[in-house]
Amino acid sequence: PPRAATEKFTTPAEALHTVFGFDSFRGDQAEIIDQLVAGNDAVVLMPTGGGKSLCYQIPALVRPGTGIVVSPLIALMQDQVDALTAVGVRAEFLNSSQDSATRNQVERDYLNGDLDLLYVAPERLSSEATKRFLERGTIALFAIDEAHCVSQWGHDFRPDYLALSELADRWPDVPRIALTATATDATHKEITTRLQLGDAKHFVASFDRPNIQYRIVAKNEVRKQLLSFIKTEHAGDAGIVYALSRKTVEQTAEFLKTNGINALPYHAGLDAGVRARTQSRFLREDGVIIVATIAFGMGIDKPDVRFVAHIDLPKSVEGYYQETGRAGRDGAPANAWLAYGLQDVVQQRRMIDQSPGDLSHRRTLSGHLDAMLALCETVDCRRVNLLRYFGQTSTPCGNCDTCLNPPEAWDGTIPAQKLLSTIVRLLRERNQKFGAGHLIDILRGKETPRATQYSHTELKTWGIGADLSDQQWRGVVRQMLAQGLLATSGEYGTLILTDAAASVLDGSRTVQLRTEPDRPLRRTPAAKS
C-alpha cells in the first residue's frame, strides 16, 4: 500500500529492508547515511557499482521533506524514477523534456510534501525561479550526483554545476552530499571548494578489486584463444565476453556454442523479449556465458560471475574498469581477460578520426584510448596502473599477468627503424601509403601478388626484416602505434610517421618494446610479500 504523504522511516536499516529488500549496508554506506540523517554534509568518492544511490535515497526516506537530486543524466531520470516508484518510493523529476501539465503536477506534489525524491537537471536548479519555488517546500537534503562535473579541468565540465555553490548560502541548514566515481585528487579538491563542502566528511572508497586477476594478452586467433581460456580455466563458470560489434557478438557466441560452451548472444539489436530471457537465464541458471556488446551489464547484479573477457579493446580505462568490475562481486577469485592486437588500435584510431563532433571531442576520445593502450602495454603491475588512473597509489599486486610473468623488455630500435624507413621510402619514392599487413610483407620479403604488382621486391628494404615472425612484427607495429611513433590515416588504416618518429630514424631515440609472453600464467597467484 502507498505510504501516507508525510510518512517517513524511523531508521535507515528499516528503509533498506522494507524498500530495497537488502540485508545490510555495503562499505561506507551506513556511515554516509548517518552523516546525512544527522544533518551534516558528505563528499563520496566511490567506484561505479559501489552503491552511491542508496547514500542519498535512504536519508531522503528518513528525513522529513524531499531529497533534491541534481543529476546531469537527464536521459536516465525517467528510468530512475520508474525504478523507485516500482518499490514504493514517491519520486519525480523536473527537466526540460516535460510538458507544463506534468510539471505543474510535480510541483504541486512537492509543495504538498508528497515526494521523497525529486530529480532536477542542473540548469533548472541554477535558475532563480526554481530556487524560489523550492523554498516554498521542505527539503530533506541536496544530493549532487556526478559531482566531478563541477571541475573546470575535467572532461565532463558543466557550467551549470558552478551555480550549485549557492546552495550552501541559501540553505545552510539542509545537508548536502556530493557523489562521484572520479577519484583523482584534483577533482576531489575542486568539488570540495567549489561546492563549499569544507565542513563535510569525506568518504573515499578504494577502487581496488583485489580478487580480480587482470590479464592482457596479444590477440592472434582470438576465438581459439578465448575458447582455450574458458575451457582450461572456467569450465562450467558464469562469465561475460565483451565485443564491440553485434556481428562479432553473434559469431563468437555461435563459435563457442559449436564447441560445447553454454553461450548466448546479447546486443541492442535483438528483440526485447529475447534479451529479457537471456538476461534472466544468466541470472538464474548456472554456468551461462553471455557474449555481449557493452549494452549488457548495466544494473545487473550477479555475484558469481567468474570471468569477464574482452575480445576487442575497450575505448577507455573507465569502461574497462566498469566492465571487468562485474566479475567476482562475491569476493571469490575472478579473471579479467583481455585480448588485444594491432587491428584494435588501427580500428579505434580510425573511428576517432571519423567520429562526428569537434576537435576537442576527438582529442578527449584519443586521450581515453591512449590511457587504455598504456595499460595494455605496461611492463609494470596492471593493478598499480589501473588504480593510478583513478588517482590511487598502490604497490605491485602479485596477482596480475605482469606481476606473475614479468614481461621482458627488448631493444626494438632497429626493427622500428626498418619499418619507419620503409614507410618513408614508399612515400618519397613512389608516393604510396600502406597498412600494416602489406608493410610487414615487404619487410619479411613475402612475395604476394600485391608486392609483385607494385614491384615492391625492388625496394631497398625488401626482406630486411625476415628475422622477425609475422606475429612479432604485428607486436612491433602495435606498440609503436601505442607509443605514438606511428599514426594511422584514412579509411584503410594506412600507417604514417608522427613527429616523434624522426628521432628514432636519426638514432637519437631508442624504442623499448615488451616481449609478448608465450608462457602460460602460473595458476596459483604468488603470495603477497
483, interface contact from Zn ion, ligand ADP, none, CB < 5-8 Å by kind: none
Whether the Cβ atoms of residue 179 and residue 44 lie closer than 8 Å to each other = yes
Whether the Cβ atoms of residue 146 and residue 121 lie closer than 8 Å to each other = no
In degrees, rounded to 5, the angle at the alpha carbon of residue 259 between the alpha carbons of residues 255 and 262 is 85
| Residue 160 C-beta: closest distance to ligand ADP, Å | 21
Contacts 24+ apart (CB under 8 A), 24-31: 25/54, 26/50, 26/51, 27/51, 27/205, 28/203, 28/205, 29/54, 29/55, 31/203
| Residue 375 C-beta: closest distance to Zn ion, Å | 12
| Residue 371 C-beta: closest distance to Zn ion, Å | 18
Whether the Cβ atoms of residue 323 and residue 310 lie closer than 8 Å to each other = yes
| Strand bridging mode 512-514 / 409-411 | antiparallel
| Residue 22 C-beta: closest distance to ligand ADP, Å | 4
Whether the Cβ atoms of residue 264 and residue 249 lie closer than 8 Å to each other = no
Say whether residue 457 binds ligand ADP (CB under 6 A): no
**Residue from the set 3, 14, 49, 196 that interacts with ligand ADP by CB under 6 A:** 49
Size of the site for ligand ADP (CB under 6 A): 14
Closest to 20 (Cα-Cα) out of 61, 78, 48 = 61
25, interface contact from Zn ion, ligand ADP, none, CB < 5-8 Å by kind: ligand ADP
The separation between the first and the last C-alpha atoms of the chain, rounded to the nearest angstrom, is 56
Task: Give per-residue burial for 52-70: e unless 16+ CB within 10 Å, then b.
Answer: bbbbbbbbbbbbebbbbbb
Whether the Cβ atoms of residue 346 and residue 435 lie closer than 8 Å to each other = yes
Task: Name the H helices within 457-500.
Answer: 470-482
Q: Which is nearer to ligand ADP, 53 or 457 (CB)?
A: 53
- Residue located via cell numbers 578489486: 209
| Residue 320 C-beta: closest distance to Zn ion, Å | 15
Q: Which is nearer to ligand ADP, 176 or 438 (CB)?
A: 176
Q: Which is nearer to Zn ion, 62 or 404 (CB)?
A: 404
> What does the alpha-carbon distance between residue 162 and residue 152 come to, in Å, rounded to a whole number?
9
> What count of other Cβ atoms lies within 10 Å of the Cβ of residue 208?
15
383, interface contact from ligand ADP, Zn ion, none, CB < 5-8 Å by kind: Zn ion
Instruction: Compute and round to an integer the Cα radius of gyration of the chain.
Output: 27
**Residue from the set 14, 40, 51, 413 that interacts with ligand ADP by CB under 6 A:** 51
Q: Which is nearer to ligand ADP, 229 or 389 (CB)?
A: 389
Subset of 18-37 contacting ligand ADP (CB under 6 A): 22, 25-26, 29
> What does the alpha-carbon distance between residue 266 and residue 200 come to, in Å, rounded to a whole number?
43
Q: Which is nearer to Zn ion, 118 or 397 (CB)?
A: 397
Enclosing H/E stretch for 496: strand 494-497
| Residue 392 C-beta: closest distance to Zn ion, Å | 14
Q: Which is nearer to ligand ADP, 12 or 341 (CB)?
A: 12
Helices 342-354 and 470-482, axial angle in degrees (round to 10): 40
Draw the binding track, 375-404, toward Zn ion (x: CB under 5 A; -: no contact): ------x-x-------------x--x--x-
Q: Which is nearer to ligand ADP, 47 or 65 (CB)?
A: 47
User: Cell digits for 339?
Assistant: 585480448
410, interface contact from ligand ADP, Zn ion, none, CB < 5-8 Å by kind: none
Closest to 5 (Cα-Cα) out of 53, 58, 66, 54 = 66
Q: Which is nearer to ligand ADP, 26 or 363 (CB)?
A: 26
Which range in 49-57, 164-172, 379-387, 429-437 contacts ligand ADP by CB under 6 A?
49-57
Whether the Cβ atoms of residue 65 and residue 134 lie closer than 8 Å to each other = no
Q: Which is nearer to ligand ADP, 229 or 390 (CB)?
A: 390
403, interface contact from ligand ADP, Zn ion, none, CB < 5-8 Å by kind: Zn ion
Which range in 42-50, 153-161, 371-379, 513-521 contacts ligand ADP by CB under 6 A?
42-50
492, interface contact from Zn ion, ligand ADP, none, CB < 5-8 Å by kind: none
Q: Which is nearer to Zn ion, 130 or 405 (CB)?
A: 405
Size of the site for Zn ion (CB under 5 A): 5
Q: Which is nearer to ligand ADP, 55 or 439 (CB)?
A: 55
Subset of 323-352 contacting Zn ion (CB under 5 A): none
| Residue 372 C-beta: closest distance to Zn ion, Å | 17
Three-class DSSP category at 217: strand
Q: Which is nearer to ligand ADP, 26 or 224 (CB)?
A: 26
User: Which residues have C-beta within 8 Å of that of residue 488, sequence separation ≥ 6?
Assistant: 345, 346, 349, 350, 353, 481, 494, 495, 496
Subset of 53-112 contacting ligand ADP (CB under 6 A): 53-54
| Residue 125 C-beta: closest distance to ligand ADP, Å | 20
**Residue from the set 40, 48, 78, 138 that interacts with ligand ADP by CB under 6 A:** 48
Whether the Cβ atoms of residue 19 and residue 88 lie closer than 8 Å to each other = yes
Q: What residues make contact with ligand ADP under the rule CB under 6 A? A: 22, 25-26, 29, 46, 48-54, 299, 301
Q: What residues make contact with Zn ion under the rule CB under 5 A? A: 381, 383, 397, 400, 403
